[in-house]
Structure 1
Amino acid sequence: MTRKLGIIVVVALLVGSIAFSIMGGFSKPEISTAQAPEYIVAGKLFKGGATSDTLMTIFSEIKDLNTSKKLPGTLAAVYYSIPEEAKGKLEVWVGVLVSDTTIVLPEGYFFRKFPSSNVIRAEIKAHYMVAPAPDKVKAQLYEFAAEQKVKPGGYVIEKYHNEQDITMEIPVTKL
């Protein structure tokens, strides 16, 4: 019986490792510098606790609007909180990247513009369920900024292109 259990465990671990690898679980974020265009994000502001149900509700609402094409574009979130300083509190602009401000927004939604800038960019090619934790990627972005001798701006933009393609950007200025 123990031999069968051992074989089952080994097979389960092997299948799990293969699935994890296929989903991109072993891939590391590609970090680089780039010039980002002006971003216009149609969305809502959330201020509150990192584990708040309200934040998840806003994300879900925006994803539904995006999926139904009532708010087309790339899902995005702009985090104004720096992880080390936030202490469980967040300020996040959640929405969709749009090309201009002429579209009609659902009630309670607004446009927010983010100027073109030099950025430190992390490209994550992994399913969101196995991708590195956002705070760890943000920490890598801040470390890279220090190595490049640039000063990070006051926010991080996360763009969710699809379930296996996420981009994070921090605007930077030369020291």
Structure 2
Amino acid sequence: MNKKIFYTLAGIVTVVLVFYTFQGGFTSPDVTLTTSKPMYVAGVSFEGSMEDEAMGKAFQRVSQVLQEKALEGHPGNIYYNNPDRSGDSIRAFIGIIIPDSTDNLPEGYTLRAVPGGRKVIRAEATASIALLPKKLYAAVFDYAKEEKLQLEEFYVEWFPEEDKGVLEVPVKE
């Protein structure tokens, strides 16, 4: 009886590890200290709980806008605080990184410019979208700690391809 339980548990663990590996769970982000480039983000502001239904709707709207080709670009967000440090409250701008600031914006969308020329820690990784944010943020925070760098409370993340994510956080000067 004990052997059956052992083999069953071993099989479950193996399946979970294979799935996690397939999702990119063991890939490490590439982290560099670099200079940011200017970007334009078209989207909507959000302030509130990460569990708020409005936040989910903002992400769904991004998907809809991209599917309908109302804007050309890829999902991207600006976060003005770290929810891990401020409870469940988040201040964000959820939208789409667009190549041209003169594009006509969908109804309800506004434009935010992210300035270039700032020293940033940049992390890039390939993994499932469910795993990417945690991997990217952890990599940036670890790098900043190792290099004894202070970070600004300004996080720009984007997803240029399926299963690829990028995060940039400015370094305090």
Structure 1 67/32 Cα, relative in aligned 2: closer, same or farther at 3 Å? same
Aligned equivalent of 2:122: 121
Structure 1 131/97 Cα, relative in aligned 2: closer, same or farther at 3 Å? closer
Q: Percent identity?
A: 26
Provide, for residues 4-52 of structure 1, a one-character-per-residue CA deviation record: whole Å limited to 9, x for no partner.
Answer: 5543432232222112112111122222111221010011000111211
Alignment of 1:25-174 (within 5 A): 25-116=25-116, 117-131=118-132, 133=134, 137-138=136-137, 140-174=139-173
Distance in 2 between the 1:42 and 1:141 partners?
25
Q: Kindly indicate whether the alpha-carbon contact (under 8 Å) linking 2:132 and 2:164 is maintained by their aligned counterparts in 1.
A: no
Distance in 2 between the 1:132 and 1:110 partners?
24
Gaps of at least 5 residues in structure 2 are: none
Provide, for residues 45-85 of structure 1, a one-character-per-residue CA deviation record: whole Å limited to 9, x for no partner.
Answer: 00111211110110011111112211220101110013354
Structure 1 34/5 Cα, relative in aligned 2: closer, same or farther at 3 Å? same
Gaps of at least 5 residues in structure 1 are: none
Residue 162 of structure 1, CA deviation: 3.3
Provide, for residues 111-138 of structure 1, a one-character-per-residue CA deviation record: whole Å limited to 9, x for no partner.
Answer: 100100221011122112344626xx43
Q: CA RMSD in A?
A: 2.3
Deviates more, 1:38-47 or 1:80-89: 80-89
Counterpart of 2:134 in structure 1: which amino acid? A
Q: Kindly indicate whether the alpha-carbon contact (under 8 Å) linking 1:145 and 1:151 is maintained by their aligned counterparts in 2.
A: yes
Deviates more, 1:101-110 or 1:80-89: 80-89
Deviates more, 1:1-10 or 1:99-108: 1-10
Distance in 2 between the 1:84 and 1:10 partners?
34
Distance in 1 between the 2:108 and 2:4 partners?
58
